[in-house]
A and B are shown apart, each in its own frame.
Chain A
């Protein structure tokens, strides 16, 4: 039996998304949390677009995601010790 992988980090398949949708998780943020895609090592760089396309395919319309999930730091997984120096970064904000 074959399966289509949506998120490689967290091993989320297309049928996992279909199942989540059937369970009532109908927006991208809820699908993400229920299935776990985008929460692994790459932080959604590959899977978010696949999942958005899946959702758009079910819901119709050409606007894939009106309000995409916020991209959260860090860009790359980084050892804690790299941030443990004395400088506090001056309180700069990322978004």
Chain B
């Protein structure tokens, strides 16, 4: 491991790797990425791989749209097949309030070039044979959303960044961040120290903990989010299905498995990553209600990861005011993976060429309490 670097990125998840990937492709590779476990250890290896452009705020829609474009190139660029399948996303509303929210969202999405349509239950059942239409009041469908396999996206970005000179140190824990005269001086790890003037905090569920090591406070909190996967089945389900009434989502992966999870309003903030029987029951009830034919499908495995949640559902991006050289790229809740290519590319251009972007103004670390960002409401789980 080197003892000096221009930039140290804390977190070898998709956000940190995407930054390293785009920075190194732009010719800047004096970077060390620190990962406490193996690649895919955190939420980047534990999510359902959904990539949707259906959001309630313009920024998320634009970032997601850009990410879809970049994900479509990623396999070619990295040599790793990420199994990106654009089978669409189908949202179901079961009450008048969420139905009208869907309709407002669709209008906003259309104005930004995302071809989402409000469709009736009959059309939804044509797209998803076997879908139970009872109590569904409105559906929104965008055929250009999709799902991918997160692991090869992580490996592909990591391998390319390494080939371009980035050091990615796995099984390396962050122990301390030294700050001198109000600016970053060095990071101390379980395998030695690295002198640096810039540190990016891309630690996902661990972000607030990392910030404390530099003497900064972040409002992010980690929440366990559980997910399960079924036995592989012949392809029969094109879109990701999302039920707004309880936050259930599931899709069919390219391996044929049904993979999904749901919201749990009673989940407290914690670093608990155990699997629960409560989730298994709630998820099986919800998915068999949405699609009764799934009752006979065997569940193989369940696991959990962390959502890194902020008070307004938006990420935290840019330099901290308290410590010079300490830069935040965290707070992505349950949708960091799908936005990662856009965040990495925009972030790389901002870091390297000082290309301004509105997201660094709107989602600045010090916005809370004074410049609130519009809340993203279309959040599942």
Contact = CB atoms under 8 A, between A and B. Distances in A.
Q: Do A and B come from one complex?
A: yes
B289 to A, nearest CB: 8
B280 A72 contact: no
A39 to B, nearest CB: 8
B277 interface: yes
A90 B45 CA distance: 29
A19 interface: no
Contacts of A81: 284, 288, 295-296
Contacts of B278: 88-92
B287 interface: yes
B61 to A, nearest CB: 31
Nearest to B286: A84
A32 to B, nearest CB: 10
A80 interface: yes
B365 to A, nearest CB: 32
A79 B151 CA distance: 27
Contacts of A77: 231, 298-300
B274 A94 contact: yes
A88 to B, nearest CB: 5
Interface string B301-336: 111000000000000000000000000000000000
A92 B279 CA distance: 10
A87 interface: yes
Contact of A80 (B274, B288, B303): B288
B368 interface: no
Per DSSP, are chain B's interface residues mostly helix, strand or loop, or mixed? mixed
Nearest to B264: A91
B300 A43 contact: yes
A26 to B, nearest CB: 9
A90 B272 CA distance: 17
A58 interface: no
Contacts of A30: 38-40
Nearest to B282: A88
Given A72-B275, A84-B288, A89 B281 contact: yes
Contact of B299 (A24, A80, A94, A95): A80
B246 to A, nearest CB: 13
B45 to A, nearest CB: 7
Interface in A33-58: 33-34, 39, 41, 43
11 contacts: A27-B170, A27-B171, A41-B231, A74-B300, A79-B295, A79-B296, A79-B297, A81-B295, A82-B284, A89-B281, A91-B276
Interface of A: 24, 27, 29-30, 33-34, 39, 41, 43, 72-74, 77-85, 87-95
